[in-house]
Structure 1
Amino acid sequence: MTLARLAELHGVATAYEPSEGVTVQVPDATVVAVLGALDVDATTPEAVAAALGAARRATEDRLLPPTLVRWRDDGPVRPPEDLPPGTRLRVTTEEGEVVEGLDWQPLPLGVHRVEALAPDGRAGGSTLIVAPARVPRPERRVFGLLAQLYSVLSSRSWGMGDLGDLRELASWAGRTHGAGFVQVNPLHAAVPGAPTDPSPYRPSSRRFPDPVHLRIEDIPEYGFLAPEYRDARDAVLADAAELRERVLRKGALIDRDAVWDVKRRALELLQTVELGPGRRAEYRDFLAERGRALEDHATYCALAERHGHHWRSWPEELRDPRSATAVVRADDELTARVDFHCRLAWLTDRQLAAAAEAAREAGMAVGIVHDLAVGVHPDGSDAWARQDAFAAGMSVGAPPDAFNARGQDWGLPPWRPDALAASGYAPYRGLLRELLRHAGALRIDHVMGLFRLWWVPEGREPTEGTYVRYDSEAMLAVLALEAHRASALVIGEDLGTVEPGVRERLARRGVLGTSVLWFERDWSGTGRPLAPEEWRTDCVATATTHDLPSTAARLSGDHVALRHRLGLLTGDLGRERALDAAEVGDWLTYLERLGLLPEGPGDEEAEVRAVHRFLLRTPAAMVGVWLPDAVGDRRPQNLPGTWDQYPNWRLPVAGPEGQPMSLEELAASPRLHRLLSVFGSLAEHRAEPGTGAGAGSAAGSRTAPPDARPV
């Protein structure tokens, strides 16, 4: 019980409920390991007693918690009520204004600093977050496209989709079809080196984008390359054309490493072009605004080029960002590489801005929806730069569930909740502010992580992990504040095991959920497909996701055959096919009964349209169309449970027979036009070109089944 009490004080679970009425005890060894990652020694009974005593004394001595949260809908902003009588308070707002005393009502939205001095001489400080009641709400119902950007190649891209393609896709979808948004995969910076992890959900840095997404020809300096470099430029262009043709015409997989090699060569050539006065001033402003965070990221990139990305094996003086900076500044070659990587971050930011502007000019009510991965690679830039904020020796994952009896280990170090609170959530605030700069909305992968995460100690199985709780009020307050400042919506990926009350709390703060057709059934009763009017309003409704079969594969049963070929089925093939056919049959029968499938079953394209007519009939605030569904692609972009058995994250969008399709071919596809015509009623109410952009409405919540959602 003493260990359990210590664990409770630090938000570490000693038991959890995987399903209603079932309780699983966490091994003591796991609890001890997790507490150790929080710098709490619980290895012996004496150590536990000492840690409890230290925690009690810290609580008694503390005047203020590390972070205070005040919501605008909770009435006037007031100081804590449990301070000793006579305590003097001083608030310094983020704008530098000072408010003395107990009257906090004039405090604006923002992140402020509170200092307290008690009559007995005790002093304390706290970060005060004053947040709006909700994130912005959609102004009207919209539909949009869901796409993995790397998979959408045009005749101008260099072997994978880029930000020029995103700009074209947004402009075309908004102007031609009245789409209100385009949602893309995380564009975070990948871990450097080859081969790199192709998953966009295991990045080096979530704060800075990856320059592999740059459209090289759109960089202004491209047109001013000196004559002596033009032969080298032409060689790069020839290699880029070969990469594009290999993917679009020769059936090759997308090779991110090869794309980056070609683009890096081009960018190094452009580094020889001097910036004009205006561009130079803009770049300097960018450096000043990003400050230490960008310098750390660029320093990591430069050091990784020389020493490899495994920073724990670097020379000792380079493992700490502060001492590494001094080393780099004394090395002219490294200093030049730091500037190179800073410039790449700036160039990528400018093209992200251009894509967002294209979406607005096309009349999109929301615009570009960016994606926030749940964590970062342990060998990446963020983990190196903010070692204080990550729990050493721990990995984020998921406990065993109905879909994965062994649980999951995602290989991502978790944030330390104590470090976040002590810093006033500075790393989290900086991350959100950067991602929201050019976003009409932000999708948060595994949004339940704002409340708790499953920590797996290094060397242990995922079944031997436990939940660690975060201050969800503070996490939500920061999210609401930054989204409000950016006038951006927030979408939470809330599929999977969700503890009671989480969806309701998210909905209260305006965070939209995610509802996928095949999971929307009456799980507490008959198991029937959930009627459209029973769906929640506060969600993005879709037919599938990047981790699930395409709709064509689902309807045809191809996804079962694929899993069988790869040895992923846990049961007999015949039985799995029968179960799958029965599930699909239930939905098709229901769609017919609702009058959404006038053509009758048997026509796959008509069935795909019927599925999307159904989504349109729900009250969902946003409806997403998986772009591969629009052309009959049968392959998932990611097949959970596989690594080298399947080309995860490396497939271009393709037609029913697997033939890759360029962006131009997608835009001309009759099948795509027939599907998007389903949304004509929403398209008629699109914003006038140039007036759209993200803010916006939804309410309600419901329970959902266990999920097959892996990272």
Structure 2
Amino acid sequence: MAAAYDDAEPPLTAGPELIRLAESHGVATSYSPAPGRTVEVPASAVVAVLAALGVDAGTPDAVRAALAERERELRERLLPPTLVRWAGAEPPAALAALPVGTRLLVRIEEAPREGLADSRASQDSQEEDEGQEWDGAAGLPLGVHRLTALAPDGRTGHAHLVVAPDRLPAPTGRSYGLLVQLYSLLSRRSWGMGDLGDLAELAGWAGRTGGAGFVQVNPLHAAVPGAPTDPSPYRPSSRRFPDPVHLRIEEIPEYGYVEDRERLHALLEKAARLRSAVLDKGALIDRDAVWELKREALELVLAVPLGPGRQAAYDAFRAAHGQALDDHATWYALAEVHGTDWHGWPDALRDPRSAATARARTALADRVAFHARLAWLTDGQLRAAQRAAREAGMPIGIVHDLAVGVHPQGADAWAQQDVFAAGTSVGAPPDAFNARGQDWGLPPWRPDRLAACGHAPYRDLLRALFRYAGALRIDHVMGLFRLWWVPQGRPPTEGTYVRYDAEAMLALLALEAGRAGAVVIGEDLGTVEPGVREKLQRRGVFGTSVLWFERDWEGDGHPLPPDRWRADCLATATTHDLPPTAARLTGDHVELRDRLGLLTRSAAEEHAEATADAAEWLALLGSLGLLDSPAAGPPGSDEEEEIRAVHRFLLRTPARLIGVWLPDGVGDRRPQNLPGTWDQYPNWRLPIADRQGRPVPLEELTASRRLRRLLEVLRGPGPTAR
């Protein structure tokens, strides 16, 4: 790399050619972390990110050559890779810019069977057919169609034309729901962590007894197996397929026909001991131990032949998911032999399309079938949980969580190498909460490769999730617009934003959510680019509003009155990354961070600020008459009543969805995840517990007088409309 672009270079303030090249590829050369403040991106970071997009900008000559090529490409192409037409709107502007006399041909997408046919496969199978004449103005059915432009000068252009409904589905009326990390919801029937049987039980109880409209869970994506497995549900191996660790083994139909009952009984006894260790002895949830038992049991269960009806259903599932399922199952079969980091596999096996991989898939056919069947079984229990929720009267049902990315060593990163950017990871720039920025270690999708294939991997992912989701929460929904890319080997401060085709991403989201009749909730907390929330709201994507963050930041900084909250949002008191409400009221969250050495100021200062914050909110609740019996002492003196008052406040807002953090119902003090910690705190491994830290199984939870009193507040005439 020339000296002009080495790591010692000061932040980029000139270089118009590099700036133009970067902008033409959606790579930012500066960003604004706050109004009135602009930060220049180091030239070395821009060059590294461009390299991840396949653009050589390592020298001034390379920059000039790449810029000339890019500008020629943009000048000569007839159509961009992807176009969007919203229902009822004018045709895309790019069509009006075509040369006079250009013919348009459109190949109409076939309606997907079960909403799941692989979009790439359907496109490939019809590549020979250019389609029918189109005048560019007539209406087209919803879908992703193949558009061809034939110019008079002989040029030909192709584009994926996304025809999407104007808005996403909206919830019916107003409802409240429970927010829970599924692994933490143990019952006396689960095997050491919460499972899909527990989820169905909770949904049935909450819908019928509590009048709840939904249950929101953490991502249930397939994990990277290991010893130990990464416990975070936000670093999965695959986002398209669920994790079989969540299966309720006894509810698999073939379970009753296992021949080796003695071995199965021994596994059940081990599972009982594992469950008792968590619920009765205070042990942490051990996901790996749970999976080891379930895997052994599943080997027995899957040895039972499927009946003809079940076999037909399984065959249909495999056909519907096609190559994606084969790749997923093949990765897990290969991982059993070569380890879970595919970068260390034999060279030929690192390529999912190599002849060696095809031979390995054949040689490991039994193991590939085993993992494919696990995906089918888990999908079936997920759909059963959603049915249970809807049958209990829930208008939405189960809200699933879509993680922002995948583990670099996992199945998706291996199978989709063509659309992931090598040598980079997703994170966040420095902000008021983290001066060093963040590197989440998740490889980003390349926006150019996504556009070229009509965003097929993204669309296929949405289709798979909407099979069993009444609603979908999208973690870091701002990532539909741009993501902070961190070049490998560099700190997060030396990253930059890369822009995505948000119009296409939103259109596909509207298309697939509309077909499923599902609501979408965007996690839009933290720093959000101006205009993003408005664009999301325009298309019907709900936001997320957390009580403690809702202040008049542009005015006096006081708590935001309920009538000034937005309506199209999920309003909550807390989340999995924040202290439970009881800890916030009592200051226990400060004591926890102090014990772990995470405070940046003295404990006295932190306590004083936390107490003042809670007191200010309680004063507002009192002034609104939401506290039945205001406590005379400091915040937390009557935490049960104060927590109920917090939720009465949420009912006063216009928010159409209200979320209750389930551990708040029994006084749990411990956050499920404490950002900034790794081995200092048991993130993602805690069962729901009461105020003393005693684990509370599902059977006791649903009988809790404290929880029932809280839900009585929420099930009144305000939050539900059915």
Q: TM-score, normalised by structure 1?
A: 0.95
CA–CA distance in 2 between the matches of 1:99 and 1:138? Answer: 37
What's 1:359 paired with?
Answer: 389
Matched, 1:382 2:412: yes
Per-residue deviation, 1:317: 1.1
> Which amino acid in the other structure matches residue 35 of structure 2?
E
Give the gaps of 5 or more residues in structure 2: 1-15, 111-125, 632-636
Q: CA deviation at 1:680?
A: 2.6
1:65 aligns with 2:80: yes
Name the counterpart of 1:695: none
Q: Tell me the CA shift for residue 638 of structure 1.
A: 0.1
Structure 1 position 193, deviation (Å): 1.9
* Residues 244 and 536 of structure 1: CA distance in aligned 2, closer, same or farther (over 3 Å): same
1:281-680 paired onto structure 2 within 5 Å: 281-323=312-354, 324-331=356-363, 334-601=364-631, 602-680=637-715
Tell me the distance in 1 between the aligned counterparts of 2:505 and 2:263: 49
| Counterpart pick for 1:264 among 283, 295, 302 | 295
Once residues 101 and 164 of structure 1 are traced to their aligned partners in structure 2, the CA distance between those partners, rounded to angstroms, is 51
The secondary structure found in structure 2 opposite 1:177 is coil
Partners of 1:339 and 1:307 in 2: CA distance: 18
1:488-509 CA distance string (max 9 Å, x none): 0000000011011000000000
Instruction: Give the deviation of 1:60 after TM superposition.
Output: 2.4
Aligned-partner SS, 2:96: coil
| Residue 179 (structure 2) pairs with residue 146 (structure 1) | yes
CA contact (8 A) 1:79 1:102 kept: no
| AA in 2 matched with 1:302 | A
1:446-493 Cα shifts (integer Å, max 9, x gaps): 000000000011111111111111111011001010100010000000
Residues 133 and 263 (structure 1 numbering): CA distance in 2 closer, same or farther, change over 3 Å?
same
Q: Residue 78 of structure 1 contacts residue 103 of structure 1 at CA under 8 Å; is this kept in 2? A: no
Q: Distance in 2 between matches of 1:330 and 1:505?
A: 48
Mark the CA change 1:76 to 1:66 in structure 2 (over 3 Å): closer, same or farther: closer
1:548-602 CA distance string (max 9 Å, x none): 0000000000000000000110001101110110011101111111100121132
Name which of structure 1's ranges 73-82 and 524-533 shifts more when overlaid on structure 2.
Answer: 73-82
- The residue that corresponds to 1:43 in the other structure is 58
Aligned residue for 2:199?
166
> How far does residue 539 in structure 1 lie from its aligned partner after superposition?
0.4
Contact 1:136–1:484 (CA under 8 A) maintained in structure 2? yes
Distance in 2 between residues matched to 1:685 and 1:590, nearest whole Å:
25
Q: Which residue of 1 aligns with 2:258?
A: 225
Cα contact 2:81–2:452 (8 A) shared by 1: yes
Which residue type is aligned with residue 188 of structure 1?
A: H
Letter of the 2:593 partner, please give it: R
1:497 & 1:396 partners in 2: Cα distance? 15
Distance 1:568 1:684, change over 3 A: closer
- CA drift at 1:138: 1.1
- Structure 2 CA distance for partners of 1:337 and 1:104, relative to 1, 3 Å: farther
* Aligned equivalents of 2:465, 2:196: Cα separation in 1: 15
Do the aligned residues in 2 keep the contact of 1:395 with 1:455 (CA within 8 Å)? yes
Aligned partners of 1:137 and 1:685: how far apart in 2?
Answer: 15
Deviations along 1:143-182, one digit per CA (max 9) or x if unpaired, are 0000000000001000000000000000000000110000
- The Cα offsets for residues 356-392 of structure 1, whole Å up to 9 and x where unpaired, read as 0000100001110000000000001000000011110
Task: Please say if residues 424 and 486 of structure 2, whose CA atoms lie closer than 8 Å, have aligned partners that are also in contact.
Answer: yes
1:65-120 C-alpha deviation (Å, 9 max, x unpaired): 10011111424678711111111111001028943031542310100001111111
The structural deviation recorded for 1:686 is: 5.0
> After superposition, where does 1:28-107 map in structure 2 within 5 Å?
28-75=43-90, 80-95=95-110, 98-107=131-140
Post-superposition offset of 1:535: 0.2
Cα distance, 1:300–1:682 mapped onto 2, change above 3 Å: farther
TM normalised by structure 2 equals: 0.93
State the distance in 2 between where 1:603 and 1:465 align.
46
Cα distance in 2 for partners of 1:364, 1:680 equals 12
Residue number among 304, 311, 325 corresponding to 1:280 in the alignment:
311
Return the letter of the residue paired with 1:665: E
Q: Is the 8 A contact 1:630 1:672 kept in 2?
A: yes
Between stretches 259-268 and 69-78, larger displacement belongs to 69-78
How far the C-alpha of 1:59 sits from its partner, in A, is: 1.4
Give the counterpart letter for 1:611 in structure 2: V
Counterpart in the other structure of 1:242: 273
Structure-2 separation of matches of 1:104 and 1:272: 56
Shift of 1:327: 2.1
Q: Aligned with 1:570: secondary structure?
A: coil
Paired with 2:512 and 2:152, the residues of 1 have a C-alpha distance of 36
CA distance in 2, matches of 1:683, 1:256: 39
Per-residue CA distance 1:175-212 (angstroms, 9 max, x = gap): 00110000000000000122110000000000000000
CA displacement, residues 610-662 of structure 1 (integer Å, 9 cap, x when unaligned): 00000011000100000000000000000000000000000000000000010
- Give the equivalent residue in structure 1 for 2:154: 121
Which secondary structure state, in structure 1, belongs to the residue aligned with residue 209 of structure 2? Answer: helix
Report the AA paired with residue 283 of structure 1: Y
Q: Is the 8 A contact 1:178 1:684 kept in 2?
A: no
- Partner SS, residue 182 of structure 1: strand
Among candidates 153, 156, 164, match of residue 131 of structure 1: 164
Structure 2 CA distance for aligned equivalents of residues 73 and 238 of structure 1: 61
Q: Distance in 1 between matches of 2:81 and 2:532?
A: 24
Give the conservation status (yes or no) of the 8 Å contact 1:206–1:431. Answer: yes
Counterpart of 2:428, as a letter, is A
Gaps of 5+ in 1: 688-711
Secondary structure of 2:576's aligned partner: coil
Report which stretch shifted further, 19-28 or 631-640. 19-28
Tell me by how many angstroms 1:685 deviates.
Answer: 4.6
1:692 match? none
The Cα RMSD (Å) is 1.2
Counterpart of 2:337, as a letter, is: R
Structure 2 counterpart SS, 1:659 = coil
- Aligned residue pair count: 683
SS at match of 1:499: coil
Q: Secondary structure at the match of 1:269?
A: helix
In terms of mean alpha carbon deviation, does 636-645 or 71-80 score higher?
71-80
Counterpart code for 1:326? A
SS of the residue 1:623 aligns to: strand
Give the SS at the match of 1:80.
Answer: helix
Output one character per residue of 1:656-676: Cα deviation in whole Å (capped at 9) or x when no partner: 000001000000000000100
Could you tell me how far apart the structure 2 residues matched to 1:277 and 1:247 are? 40
Q: Secondary structure, in 3 states, of the residue corresponding to 1:681?
A: coil
SS in 2 for 1:200: coil
